[in-house]
Structures are given as C-alpha cells and as structure tokens.
Amino acid sequence: MSLQCVLVEDEPLARKLLQEYVSMTPGLELLKAFGNPLEALEFMRENKVDLLFSDIQMKEISGLTLLKLLKNKPQVVITSAYSEYALDGFELDVTDYLLKPITFERFLKAVEKVNARIAEKARPLLNKPVQERGRSAADDFMFFKDGSKMFKVKLADILYIQGLKDYVKVVTKEKQIVSLQTMKSLEESLPTDAFIRIHNSTIVSFDAIEEIEREQVKIGKEYFSVSDSYKKAFKAFIEEKKP
C-alpha cells in the first residue's frame, strides 16, 4: 500500500526536484504539489494525507504555522535551507528535517524513517508481552520493514537481533531483515520471558541458545559475548529458566 503524500514548496525548482524524488521512490504516491501553503492547508482538511513534505519559509505562512493549523497532522518531513528551525520542527514532532540541497539518498532515508514510524504505530498490540495477550510464543509475531517490503515474523523464528546504528538486523531461521528502528524500542516490544539483551548491540532468543560458556552464548555457528553491563541480568534470566 502506497503512502499518499503532499508537497508544499514555493520555489518552483525545489518543488520540481521533490516531485521527481517522489516519483522515483517505491511506495510513495503524490496527491498534489503546492506552491501556496494555504491551498495545501485547505486540501489536507478535506483529504486524507499520510505524509507531508513542507518548506518552512514561504510568503503566505511559514511551514511551522501550517503544521500548527493542521488538526489531523500526517507524518511530516521538513525541507529547508535553514538549520536554525530544526529544533522548532522537532518540537512539533516532525519525523525528519532535510536541509537543502537535498540528495536523493537523504530523501530516501527520510522516507524510511516515516515508514518505520507508521509501522510502529500500526502494531500497538504486538508490542505487548505474549502473556498479556493470552497467546503462545509460537503464534506471536511482529512486523519489520525492510526497504519497501513489510515482513511478518514469528517471534519463535527469531534467533538473535543485532544493532547497526539506527538499524537492527533481525536474524531468523530462514532469513535476515534489516529494519530502521532502535534496539531500545525493539527490546521494549519483545516479551521479556523469551528474549534477553546481552550486549548493547545484541538481543538473543532464549530458545535459540545452544551453549553458554565463559561469558559467551552460542547460537548456531555464531558466538556472542555477554558484556559486563548485562551479566547480572543475564544470569538472573537463566536462573529463572532452570527447572
């Protein structure tokens, strides 16, 4: 399903460039591009919009004022030549702030952030521990976005998860998925009786652990170190699992 977006940019060349970027990006559908923010405001009051790209300094009203006037605010990506407005933008909960000149690579990263936010909001029930939902671990699942695809993954199939800066790599029995989200948010989403964090960059599945020796955990052919910060919690976790 495509994200329906709107562009608000009063500079014709900048507006044309963003239109080209949208057309080149899988999963984006441009509803309309506006040079006048007031016209955009009227359009968004009457139409459902998933994502708004908006400049800040415009003749009629600023992009920040536009955001404040929106009652049902979509995901927002600011496009501006002025970095001093970044704090104001993030206080209005914008998803990303693109500084001009905007490269296509940077544009794509912003879209990935938008998709990650939407995916997170779409699974409120999936973020609760398994016990709270009365389901077995074998049946529980989460969604992970990798590129333009959304993967449904059973928690029972996850072997381990590794953090890669702003991304996580989810390794299952059959595949690897790289998704834009933080280790902290993912750790909070996983059931605490089935997964344990053993390092700043590593979360492992208890069922996938084959051996534990000398502060190392073996899963398949891979070995993972248990860092000093997580040794106490890991030991307590293992003790609770003993019959």
In 81-231, DSSP assigns E strands to: 96-99, 141-146, 149-154, 158-164, 167-172, 176-180, 195-199, 202-205, 211-213, 216-219, 222-225
The DSSP line for 73-118 is --EEEEEES-GGGHHHHHHTT-SEEEESSPPHHHHHHHHHHHHHHH
Q: State the pLDDT at residue 44.
A: 93
pLDDT of res. 128: 44
In this structure, whether the domain defined by 130-241 belongs to CATH 2.40.50.1020 is answered with yes
Report the chain (243 residues): mean pLDDT per 10 consecutive residues. Answer: 89 95 92 95 93 92 90 90 77 86 92 83 48 45 79 90 86 89 83 91 94 91 92 90 77
Q: Which residues contact 216 (CB under 8 A, 6 or more apart)?
A: 223, 224, 225, 226
Predicted confidence at residue 136, as pLDDT, reads 42
3-121 belongs to which homologous superfamily?
Response regulator (3.40.50.2300)
Which sequence spans correspond to the domains of the chain? 3-121, 130-241
Question: What is the per-residue pLDDT for 121?
Answer: 67
